[in-house]
Amino acid sequence: MNKRIILTLTTAIAIFLMFIIAACAPNSGANPQPAPASAETDPQKLMIPRWFLSALTLDGQAVEIPAGQQQMTIQFETATQANGTGGCNSFGADYQASQDGKLTFGPIVTTEMACEGWMQLESAYYQALGKVQQFRVGEGKLTLSSSDGKTTLVFAMPPKWRTGKR
């Protein structure tokens, strides 16, 4: 009878130890976790009140942005919706951003006002947004670019956000 109790206890302890070892084993990779975002590709960094366009290149051609009363902007309103101004018209679009710096916009919807002197520039802005595939945030700038790098939009952060005084 003593041997039977010892055998039962030994079996129970062995099974318990197998569960402990299995629980402590490293993950097999069946459900890998995404790599943490770097500071430059964290989608949360997009969401400041408003970014101001400072440089635009469309299909390898620099587009001049004249100084004027109305600035071209973008705001990442929520984790999936962006809006802004194209100099004359306002726009909105759904977007998807990922931890690895990928960013794409859905169809861009705009108001339809006609503003002399802005239409060509605004059209280039919306075309460039449609080609965006990636983003980087750093040093007070947001850079959006196509996968081939021929289309880039560089936005500046408002000064009060650069200094930390909000």
Domain ranges across the chain: 43-162
- CATH code given to domain 43-162: 2.40.128.270
The set of residues, in sequence order, having a beta carbon less than 8 Å from that of 123 and lying 6+ positions away, is: none
Using alpha carbons, select from 59, 50, 75 the residue that is nearest to residue 132.
59
Give the whole-angstrom CA distance, residue 41 versus residue 24.
Answer: 32
Least confident window among 10-19, 55-64, 96-105, 147-156:
10-19
Asked if residue 55 lies in contact with residue 142, where contact means CB atoms within 8 angstroms, the answer is no
Asked if residue 144 lies in contact with residue 104, where contact means CB atoms within 8 angstroms, the answer is no
Angle at 79 between CA 73 and CA 80, to 5 degrees: 80
pLDDT range class, residue 40, cuts 50, 70, 90 = confident
Give the whole-angstrom CA distance, residue 30 versus residue 128.
Answer: 38
The string of pLDDT tens digits covering residues 26-38 is 554 444 444 445 6
**Residue-averaged pLDDT of the chain:** 82
Direct distance between the N- and C-terminal alpha carbons of the chain, in angstroms, rounded to an integer? 78
pLDDT range class, residue 39, cuts 50, 70, 90 = low
- Burial string for 134-157 (b: 16+ CB within 10 Å, else e) reads bbbbeeeebbbbbeeeebbbbbbb
The set of residues, in sequence order, having a beta carbon less than 8 Å from that of 162 and lying 6+ positions away, is: 140
The set of residues, in sequence order, having a beta carbon less than 8 Å from that of 155 and lying 6+ positions away, is: 51, 52, 53, 54, 73, 74, 141, 142, 143, 144
